[in-house]
A and B are shown apart, each in its own frame.
Chain A
Amino acid sequence: MNTTPTAHTVKSFDEDLRQLRLLIGEMGGLAKDQVDRSVAAIVARDAEAAQAVVQSDPRIDKLEAEVEQLAIATIARRAPLADDLREVIAALKISAVIERIGDYAKNNAKRVNSIAQDSPIRPMVIVPEMARIVSQMVDDALDSYARRDPELARDVWKRDNSVDEYYNSLFRALLTFMMENPHHITPSTHMLFIAKNLERIGDHATNIAEVVYYTATGEHLTDRQKADETVYTVSEDVEGEQER
């Protein structure tokens, strides 16, 4: 299943598809890098490094526009069907998801300035560990795309629950922490947003995995379980408020 398809009679069609994959690969690499650098900046409370992350984001947006153009041109020129159609639609969807991952990384980076002004807070120690898992999910999701590997995609998809659990435990920790002392509210809120953003990045890695799985097999991954619906619901309101 995870093999490269045989060549088309029309060679330039293969070139279009190859180009789409290259662009997605480049985008994905950048986005993953943004995630890692934003977390490093948070941990190090390094406002300068955070600023660099914010400034890199337009590169991802530009690549997304390129993917969109090429995908639309390919659909118009080649009228792709079956695997090819799934491939082009996957490129469109994945590029949009990667762009969102970049946005969450940027949003996290933007919070460094404010965090750096308060003293460090205890629950913060969970963040790097959560970020490590999320970053690995993004990496593997992109890998599964590059290798057309539905099994790795399924594996990423399964991991999303553990990210949700991290988020939920951090959520509870921060609640208690805020109740202890109102001065903790500002840094804790930032931390909560950061964790929520990481959790969303994990969701997006899962989305990529779903698209990869469908593209490779023609079947949908189903029966996804959420770990803790209550906490998830409470935090759900926050999601729409995120800036892009």
Chain B
Amino acid sequence: MMATMTANAEAAVTSPPKMTARDVKVFYGDKQALNGVSIDVHTDLVTAFIGPSGCGKSTFLRCLNRMNDTIDAARIEGRIELEGHDIYAPDMDVVQLRARVGMVFQKPNPFPKSIYENVAYGPRIHGLASTKAELDTIVEQSLVRASLWSEVKDRLQDSGTALSGGQQQRLCIARAIAVDPEVILMDEPCSALDPIATAKIEELIDDLRGRYAIVIVTHNMQQAARVSQRTAFFHLGTLVEYGDTAEIFTNPREQRTKDYITGRFG
């Protein structure tokens, strides 16, 4: 089934899509969780996935960097490309893929190591720095981009888990940025944070837009309306509507979208 697209959804995009998904279906055993999703992700746009719990938005997000590979019963059909290359092709290096398509999770999950090590870990295993000085630069740059540097620069050797929730989440974003990804997937990155920490993450998302393609799953309608330029509404494993965020939140085309975002579901 084709999702409804608002008229200007594709028109305003200037760059070619960073990632394209075509007719993506996911099965967990016999149960089909995703019914053929087709969508493009662009670098200069933040894309928000919204929908009730169990609608398939997280399942789909996890397809984009093959996180579903870790679930034995999961089977994926369709085609997902990163810069024109099939990410499910046999020659695709999954570790490399996950560096290019980074992920930030709902609950901040820093390694139980120092702040410095949290950020340095990725670049080190991917061999992005050959000297300590280079690694220092990457760590600093990543923390600056994640808007955390000024708060932690004097205590880089403290444990990452000692930071506040909001700081931990920005640390996780710094960690994702450190390996110089092209796409950042965020699965409800603010749901465990207070409003101020949430505002900082949203500000950060604004800053990062254009440098990385960002996809964010959120249950907070206002957040989707604030941070994204494109919104995709999922329901029962189907992409119901995809389009310009302003349009989706003021004048959605589909009754199901309307009912969901205005709080009339179920």
Contact = CB atoms under 8 A, between A and B. Distances in A.
Q: Do A and B bind each other?
A: yes
Interface of A: 5-10, 13, 78-86, 218
B222 interface: yes
Contacts of B251: 82, 86, 218
A81 B265 contact: no
Given A79-B222, A81-B261, A83-B258, A9 B250 contact: no
6 contacts: A6-B264, A8-B263, A8-B264, A83-B262, A86-B250, A86-B251
Given A81-B261, A86-B250, A218-B250, 20 more contacts: A6-B264, A7-B264, A8-B262, A8-B263, A8-B264, A9-B263, A9-B264, A9-B266, A13-B263, A78-B263, A79-B222, A81-B225, A81-B262, A82-B252, A82-B257, A82-B258, A84-B262, A85-B249, A86-B251, A218-B251
Of A8, A81, A84, the most chain B CB neighbours within 10 A belong to: A81
A79 B250 CA distance: 12
B83 interface: no
A218 B252 CA distance: 9
Contacts of B3: none
B249 A81 contact: yes
Contacts, number: 41
B259 interface: yes
Contacts of A8: 262-264
A150 to B, nearest CB: 14
B163 interface: no
Contacts of A79: 221-222
A6 B255 CA distance: 11
A6 B258 CA distance: 11
Interface of B: 221-222, 225, 249-252, 257-259, 261-266
B195 to A, nearest CB: 13
A5 B264 contact: yes
**Interface pairs A-B: 7 shortest CB-CB:** A218-B251, A81-B261, A84-B262, A81-B249, A8-B263, A82-B258, A82-B262
Nearest to B258: A82
Nearest to A86: B250
A9 B266 CA distance: 8
A85 B261 CA distance: 11
Contacts of A83: 258, 262
Nearest to B249: A81
Nearest to B221: A81
A13 B251 CA distance: 19
Contacts of A9: 263-266
Contacts of A84: 262
A214 to B, nearest CB: 9
A115 B252 CA distance: 53
A141 to B, nearest CB: 22
Contacts of A13: 263
Contacts of B252: 82
A4 to B, nearest CB: 12
Nearest to A219: B251
A8 B252 CA distance: 17
A119 B96 CA distance: 94
A165 B180 CA distance: 68
Contacts of A80: 262
B255 to A, nearest CB: 10
Contacts of A7: 264
Contacts of B263: 8-10, 13, 78
A7 B264 CA distance: 6
A83 B260 CA distance: 11
B48 to A, nearest CB: 13
A83 B249 CA distance: 9
A8 B261 CA distance: 11
Nearest to B265: A9
A179 B92 CA distance: 91
Nearest to A217: B251
Of B225, B252, B257, B264, the most chain A CB neighbours within 10 A belong to: B264
Contacts of B222: 79
A85 B250 contact: yes
A79 B251 CA distance: 15
Contacts of B249: 81-82, 85
A5 B261 CA distance: 13
Contacts of B259: 6
Nearest to A9: B263
